[in-house]
Structure 1
């Protein structure tokens, strides 16, 4: 799967000359946390909810008392996006694999990646988009059953367990993996199945010599 297949194409953007108030109002109206900053379709930067929050916190720390004795605080309607946006943000292209985009988001602790093509902004992919893909792939919103099996990393064992499940006429929706904390040479395979009774197939998996640590109908 590539970014171009799942990115948001309905874009909300701001100009560098726009005010922080306009940016914040757009975020609230459209329930988003990131706004690309563009000029004639070209990406200049990105401004986020945390950038705006940081600007307001900063102005509070730097506020001073005027002649009236009251704190003078900058007007967010006059504070410009240009002064608070992140310039030269990390970007991806439509052909970028989802796994690579997810790794960029994770490693750099960011919430979104603008998508560009020939230097023009064409979309954006966010951490929530990534979560949605994960939920869909794992079938979490689909009524399902699950069997968690411990086995070593030999692919033949995975094939054996999958074969046992298939021979029972059960459909595997997805398979996840995680390290088995009690033994680093083993892994836990999470088999998510169409909703079914798992007692019989669990018994057959265990008779084949595998350790089922949990199951759910």
Structure 2
């Protein structure tokens, strides 16, 4: 999945010389948490978060607040330089930026100009789509040897039941590097016949607990 498929294209922006007060109003009016700061050429020169604005706003505990602080330019509180991604970058790779850099959003630029933004909410929605949990289905998890051709072998077993595969996830088996864990979401509310087929084919079922289900 590409970034252009998950990014928001209608991005609220401000110029560097805009006031902190104007940023505060936009954050509240549009219920957003971040505002990219762009120059006259739509180049991203910084980003301001709701936390930046909150930290720069007068405290309600201050008996003599100076509201002139809100008239300062957003350039004085923005984060810069800004990490950006391209519309044709993979969403999965962008997720690693969120994790490693602990970002809450990443602007999307093309030829140096802002064209969109990806937020934590966008990434979570993408995860839901990639894992298929938004579709009514059953999850089957099994342990398989880590060798070429194992995935088509397993899917061939699933194909005998003509069940539709919503998603497939593969991750390492922590206790045994010679094995992988396959997680299938299949569109059936009764996975028991499929589980029997997989077990009869010699695969170890990790989920659901077939012992408890008397499969």
Check whether TM > 0.5: yes
Unaligned runs of 5+ in 2: 210-215
Counterparts in 2 of 1:1-217, with a 5 A limit?
1-40=1-40, 41-56=42-57, 70-215=63-208
Residues in 2 aligned to 1:31 and 1:128: alpha-carbon distance in whole angstroms: 13
Asked if 2 retains the 8 angstrom alpha-carbon contact of 1:19 and 1:76, the reply is no
C-alpha distance after superposition, 1:32-72 (max 9, x if no partner): 2111111222322111122223334xx65xx98xxxxx444
Asked if 2 retains the 8 angstrom alpha-carbon contact of 1:198 and 1:215, the reply is no
C-alpha distance after superposition, 1:131-168 (max 9, x if no partner): 21111121111111111101122232222221111111
Using the size of structure 2 for normalisation, the TM-score is 0.85
Compared CA separation, residues 155 and 25, structure 1 to 2 (3 A) = farther
Residues in 2 aligned to 1:152 and 1:33: alpha-carbon distance in whole angstroms: 45
Deviation at 1:2, TM superposition (A): 2.2
Residues in 2 aligned to 1:195 and 1:29: alpha-carbon distance in whole angstroms: 44
Q: Which has the higher strand share?
A: 1
SS at match of 1:150: strand
Give 2:212's aligned residue: none
Q: CA RMSD in A?
A: 2.2
Unaligned runs of 5+ in 1: 65-69
C-alpha distance after superposition, 1:73-107 (max 9, x if no partner): 45453232111001220112222222332222222
Asked if 2 retains the 8 angstrom alpha-carbon contact of 1:36 and 1:46, the reply is yes
Asked if 1 retains the 8 angstrom alpha-carbon contact of 2:56 and 2:70, the reply is no
Residues in 2 aligned to 1:8 and 1:130: alpha-carbon distance in whole angstroms: 11
Residues in 2 aligned to 1:43 and 1:54: alpha-carbon distance in whole angstroms: 22
Using the size of structure 1 for normalisation, the TM-score is 0.85
Residues in 2 aligned to 1:200 and 1:10: alpha-carbon distance in whole angstroms: 47
Aligned length: 207
SS at match of 1:51: helix
